[in-house]
Structure 1
Amino acid sequence: MNVEIDLNCDTGESYGAYRLGDDDALLRRVSSANVACGFHAGDATVMRRTVRTCLAHGVRIGAHPGLPDLQGFGRRAMALSPDDVYDIALYQIGALQAIAAAEGGRVEHVKPHGALYHMAEADDSIAEALARAASRTGGLTLVGLSGGRLVAAGRAASVPVWEEAFADRAYRSDGALLPRSSPGAVLDSPSAAAEQALRLARDGEAIANDGQAVSLKVDTICIHGDGPHAAETADAIRAALAAAGIRIGRGTHGTT
């Protein structure tokens, strides 16, 4: 059982006149943040504001590069080459690194967003391109699906990796996430997400949509910041973990 586990959230996904999620509330409840870098969501002003909030609350800053698809929120796959993926990842990570440095902070990890995350799990060359981007931007820790291709690519590139599981997403029996198009793919209930987070941290497993137990290595647990009850879900998770003697913190991740 983990005695300490990282709790991360996807954040900074507002842009321009559009507001998405309650970042201020959520960033008081997590230990790591994946900050949108302007392609699928976010903009320079939101990035700077989010970095400042992270620093105010002692939250580790991570880059959350996505596909150039504001209309689809980065959740539609695109036919990009590995070089294309490397370039857009490098561009986004570098932008956040500049903003973080200007605010007196630093970027510690990289977690691809949405369809880019899933493209990496389906294609070794995409995973390798993202691992290369993490390596070339200072050896940043690469966050990927537990047991997945992105984690393997990170290890092969000798960058630290965090194996990630999701509190608010349903799993298939092969350890993959149930596609968002499937009924029950998103756990909207804070209590259901808390129950899954506790099982992940305590037992290293999730119950798949077919009822089977799926074993997962878990360094960090994700909450999606765009959910309608994200802050409430974070509170429920923290309470469930605390009752089991599990702290929110750096955990044991960041290994190669």
Structure 2
Amino acid sequence: MATVGTLRIDLNSDLGESLGTWRLGNDEAMLDIVTSANVACGFHAGDSLTLQQTCAAAAERGVVVGAQVGYRDLAGFGRRFIDMEPAELTADVIYQIGALDALCRVAGARVEYVKPHGALYNAIVTHEEQAAAVVAAVVAVDRSLPVMGLPGSVFLGLAAAAGLRTVSEAFADRAYTPEGHLVSRRQPGAVLHDPQEVGARMVRLATEGRITAIDGTEIEVRADSICTHGDSPGAVEMARSVRDALTSKGVEIAPFTR
């Protein structure tokens, strides 16, 4: 895990989320900025051709590919909690990792980490049964795969106990609660939109390990990687602002896997 004063950090983004003729985000531009790509696996977003092309584009740029696994919920973009049996969730996660890894290998790359998406990501911050199911899936596929999640989450705790490498993540364009959790998207102020403000926040995070919560309190947030969402308005400008702000302060941008 990164420590206060760390001057090296990874930038990641959720990509490959277009579906058929419906386009979301600018993956090509984002891949020129980030160092790790959380690529959808077809359950919450992404069709097979989009995913194959995204993996190929990442490989061409030397961007690390991670499997962004989620609930089987295309209509809800994976942002709706699904109460499912642990064995079913484990099988779904195994399926998604395997599918994306096959597409990666065709492009000369491979899946190098796993990051849950949306409602699943948020659920396993505290939901022990589902967190254990996701951990079980990664262990079954490849114990060498790191997992990315929210610092202090049940998920990362169980993953570490299972011997998996854990990668703590911060969110550039999301507000935090005083407890260090993400503010629900249903609440006002949950998503930040000012690129300069966001860039300054991430510099403080990377150099001091602190961030201002939505109520104005100062909280400790330590992260190995910063997520800049690829599907939000002005996503490319936001990601570029974060990268430029970090590098201007001497922070090295590099994949956490290398």
TM range (shorter): over 0.9
1:238 aligned onto 2:224: no
Question: Deviation at 1:159?
Answer: 0.8
1:82 aligned onto 2:86: yes
Task: State the Cα deviation string for residues 152-185 of structure 1 (Å, max 9, x = none).
Answer: 0110110111001100100000011000001000
Task: State the Cα deviation string for residues 95-148 of structure 1 (Å, max 9, x = none).
Answer: 001111122111100000000101111211111111121222212110010121
Q: Name the aligned partner's letter for residue 59 of structure 2.
A: L
Task: State the Cα deviation string for residues 48-73 of structure 1 (Å, max 9, x = none).
Answer: 00001101111000000111111111
The DSSP-based 3-state class of the residue aligned with 1:122 is: coil
Question: Deviation at 1:149?
Answer: 1.2
The residue number in structure 2 matching 1:65 is 69
Segment drifting more, 128-137 vs 90-99: 128-137
For residue 92 of structure 1, the aligned residue among 75, 93, 96 is 96
Greater than 4 Å deviation, 4+ residue runs: none
Q: Distance in 2 between matches of 1:86 and 1:195?
A: 39
The residue number in structure 2 matching 1:136 is 140
Determine if contact 1:147/1:216 at 8 Å carries over to the other structure.
no
Question: Deviation at 1:192?
Answer: 2.2
The residue number in structure 2 matching 1:226 is 231
1:152 aligned onto 2:160: no
Q: Distance in 2 between matches of 1:41 and 1:250?
A: 24
Q: Name the aligned partner's letter for residue 166 of structure 1.
A: F
Determine if contact 1:147/1:217 at 8 Å carries over to the other structure.
no
Determine if contact 1:4/1:250 at 8 Å carries over to the other structure.
no
Q: Distance in 2 between matches of 1:81 and 1:201?
A: 38
For residue 201 of structure 1, the aligned residue among 202, 206, 221 is 206
Question: Deviation at 1:240?
Answer: 0.7
The residue number in structure 2 matching 1:4 is 8
Which stretches in structure 1 are left out of the alignment for 5+ residues?
none
Q: Name the aligned partner's letter for residue 187 of structure 1.
A: L
Question: Deviation at 1:235?
Answer: 1.0
1:45 aligned onto 2:49: yes
Q: Distance in 2 between matches of 1:90 and 1:250?
A: 24
